[in-house]
Structure 1
Amino acid sequence: MGELLTLNNRVSGITDSGNRDHNEDNCLMLKIDDAYLLAVADGLGGHAAGDIASGIAVMKLEEFFKEQYSNEMDNEQIKDLLRDCHERIHDAIIQASVGDKQGMGTTLVSAFVKNNRAIIANTGDSRSTVVAAGTKFKTKDHSMVQKLLDRGMIDDETARYHPMSHIVTHSMGNEFDVDLYETTIDEGEILVLSSDGLHDHVDKSVIVKSVTYQKPSEIVRYLYNEALVTTTDNVTIVVYKP
C-alpha cells in the first residue's frame, strides 16, 4: 500500500500502483492560506512515460497556481486561473515530449476549495465527486464511454465493464480540453478526487457508503481497500471533508 497522507485533518490521500507493477498516477494536496489546492493526475502512454507526464502536471499546477493566486480572487477569477494552469500544463507536457517520451500525456482533475466551496477543472477521465446520501455532483469524463452514455447507447453498469473504458478523448499533451465547475461541500458531505482505478472499478454505492466514516484518512483507506478487490489499474484518491 502506498503512503497514506493527511493534511490538517481535512484532507487525506493516497497514490499507489494498485494491481499493476508501476504507478503512473500522481496527486497534489496543498494548503494555501485558508484554502486547499487538490489534484489527481493519471499518466497515459505506458512506456511513453505516463508517470513523467502526471508528475509534470501536479508539479506545474502548484507552480503556476502559486505564481498568480491572490487571496482577493473571486470564484470567476479562480476559474480563469485553473483554466490557465491546465492550458500551460498541456503546453509544458508537449514541450517535454521528446525522444522516448514522445506521445506522453496525462489526465488532470484539480480543485480549489475555500469556505467549503470548490472550483474544479477537469481534463480527461480522472474525476471529482461530491458525495452525500448519494452522488450530489460529479465531473463529466472526457472518454469514449462517456460519449456512449451521453448518446444513450449504454447504461452506467455497462460502462463499468466496457472494452473501450480506457480510451480518453482529451488529455494533457494530446487533444486538449478543460471543463470548469463550481459546487459546494456541506457538512456531512465529502469531495473525492480519483483516478479511474477507483471510480471505474467500484460500484457507486461503495463511494456513497464511504461518507459514514468520520475521518478523511478512514474514508481513503476504505475506498482504497475496496478498489483493490476489483481494480486492474493504479489507484489514486484524495478526499476533502468539511
Structure 2
Amino acid sequence: MKVFGITHRGGRDKNEDHILIKKIGDIYLLAVADGLGGHNAGDIASKIAIEELEKFFEKNCYKSLLYEEIETILKEAFKKVHNAILNQSYGDREEMGTTLTSVVIKDNKAIIANCGDSRAYIIRDGKIIFKTKDHTYVQELIDKGYLSEEEAMYHPYKHVLKHALGIDFAVDIYKKELKSGDILLLSSDGLHDYVREKEILEVINKYEEPKDIVENLLKIALKKTMDNVSIIVFKVK
C-alpha cells in the first residue's frame, strides 16, 4: 500500500490544519483535522484532535483487532477528542473547535469517521464511488434539493458548520470494502471547496503515485484558495 500526505498554510498567515498518517500493527490510521478559523485557537484544537486520536489508537490497538472492534474504538476516539478539546477550552481558547475526518484501513476494508466538513473520498476506476457528507448548513440545502453541488461551491454560507469537535459533537461512521487500485482521498475544505471534482479526478487519473497526486492537487488548490489545504492519498495495492 502506498500513501502520501501534505498540509499547507495556503494564503493564510497560520496553518490551522493537521494531518496524520500512521501504521499501527496491522492497520493504517489516516486523518485530517481543520481548526475552525472563526473560533479561537483553531490550530490548537486540530492539533489536540490528531494527537488524541493517535494516542487512543496506540493504546487500544495492542493486538490484532476485529473489524467490529475498530468501529467501536473509532467512535470512542472521536468522543475522547471532543472532550479533550472541551477540557482545554478556556481563556484565549474558549469555544475552539475542529473538524476531523479519519479512516482506518485493515485487510482491504475501510472504516471512515467524520465530524465537520473535511472529507474522505473513495475513487475506483476513475470515478468517485463514495464521499462523506458534510455537517454544514449548505449540505442540508443540497439534501433538500434547494441547491446543486456546483451552486454550493459559491454559496456565501458554505463554511457554516452544524457540528465540529469541541463545539457540537456528532460522528458519522461508514464501512466500505476496498479493491486493488482504489484511491482513498482525505482533504480539508481548502481543496474540495475550491477544486471541482472533475479536476480532482483528472489529476488522480493522470498520476500513479500518491505523492504525485497530492503535489499536483495542491498546486491547483493554491491557485484558487486562500485557505489552508490538507490532502492525503492512500492507494490500495
Mark yes or no: TM-score above 0.5.
Answer: yes
Give the match for residue 157 of structure 2.
164
In the other structure, the counterpart of 1:17 is 9
Counterpart check, 1:95 vs 2:123: no
Residue 120 (1) aligns with residue 135 (2): no
Contact 1:109–1:127, Cα closer than 8 Å, also in 2: yes
Q: Choose 220-229 or 86-95, whichever is displaced more.
A: 220-229
| 3-state DSSP of counterpart to 2:168 | coil
- The C-alpha deviation readout for 1:144-189, integer Å capped at 9, x for no partner, is 1111101101001101111001111101101110000111332232
Q: Which moved more, 1:12-21 or 1:48-57?
A: 12-21
Aligned residue pairs, count: 234
Structure 1 31/72 Cα, relative in aligned 2: closer, same or farther at 3 Å? closer
Tell me the secondary structure at the aligned position of residue 153 of structure 1. coil
Partners of 2:39 and 2:65 in 1: CA distance: 40
Question: With structure 2 as the length reference, what TM-score do the two structures score?
Answer: 0.95
The alpha-carbon deviation at position 111 of structure 1 amounts to 0.6
The Cα of 1:75 is off from its aligned counterpart by 1.7
1:178 and 1:19 map into 2 onto residues whose CA distance is 30
The alignment status of 1:227 with 2:221, answered yes or no, reads yes
Tell me the residue number matched to 2:232: 238
Q: Deviations over 1:4-48 (max 9, x none)?
A: xxxxx7110000111222110000000112321000000014461
Return the letter of the residue paired with 1:214: E
- Displacement over 6 Å in runs of 4+: none
Shift of 1:70: 4.5
Partner of 2:191: 198
How far is 1:51 from its partner? 0.1
Aligned 8 A contact 2:2 2:210 in 1: yes
Matches within 5 A, 1:33-182: 33-46=25-38, 48-132=40-124, 133-182=126-175
Extract unaligned runs of 5+ from structure 1.
1-8
- How large is the RMSD of aligned CA atoms in angstroms? 1.3
Structure 1 residue identity aligned to 2:6: I
